[in-house]
Amino acid sequence: MKVLVVDDSAVTRQLIRRTIGLSGLDISEVLEAFDGADAIRVLAEHGADVLITDINMPRMGGVELVRAVRSDKVLGHIPVLVVSTDGSAARRDVMAGLGVTGYLSKPFRPEDLRRHLAGVVGSRP
């Protein structure tokens, strides 16, 4: 299984990558993108089975990225886990309306991400 991690923070991408590596989940490849626009490019070139994305990013943020993914015929149904500093009820409602599979607020404990990811991986069509 291939996971794409989208975050403008290299530290956060590395933290998520490290957590996935230690998770014991059946994930063979972790791809990275800096923002939504970069993610669209990576998805077009490599595809992904699961998307993990931040919200606030340069050029294209997480809201626009999820909208783009959900409207894509091929990628429209891949599970999406949001990992963001924005834990407001309003933002969670917006993202739920876009059909995200899970939502995790930063800072997070590695076990929290593993548990969310296990649920997301389990919901993969």
Partner 1 sequence: MIAQAVLDDAVEAAVVDILEVSAFEIAERGELGPAPASALTARLAFHGPHAGWLRMWIDPAEARALASALLGADDLEPAMIADAVAELANMIAGHVLSRVFVDACIGLDRAEVGVELTAPCGLVIVGEHGRIGVSLEVDR
> Among 37, 67, 99, 105, which residue interacts with partner 1 (rule: CB under 8 A)?
105
d(CA 57, CA 116): 22
Which residue has 């959900």 as its token pair? 70
Q: Which is nearer to partner 1, 73 or 89 (CB)?
A: 89
Binding to partner 1 by residue 11, rule CB under 8 A?
Answer: yes
| C-alpha count within 13 angstroms, C-beta hemisphere, residue 83 | 27
Q: Which is nearer to partner 1, 42 or 94 (CB)?
A: 94
Binding to partner 1 by residue 98, rule CB under 8 A?
Answer: no
| C-alpha count within 13 angstroms, C-beta hemisphere, residue 36 | 17
> Could you please report the per-residue DSSP string of 42-92?
HHHHH--SEEEE-SS-SSS-HHHHHHHHHT-TTTTTS-EEEEES---HHHH
Binding to partner 1 by residue 18, rule CB under 8 A?
Answer: yes
Binding to partner 1 by residue 45, rule CB under 8 A?
Answer: no
Give the per-residue contact string, 61-90, with partner 1 (x = CB under 8 A; - = no): x----------------------xxxxxxx
- Binding stretches for partner 1 (CB under 8 A): 8-12, 14-15, 18, 56-58, 61, 84-91, 94, 105-109
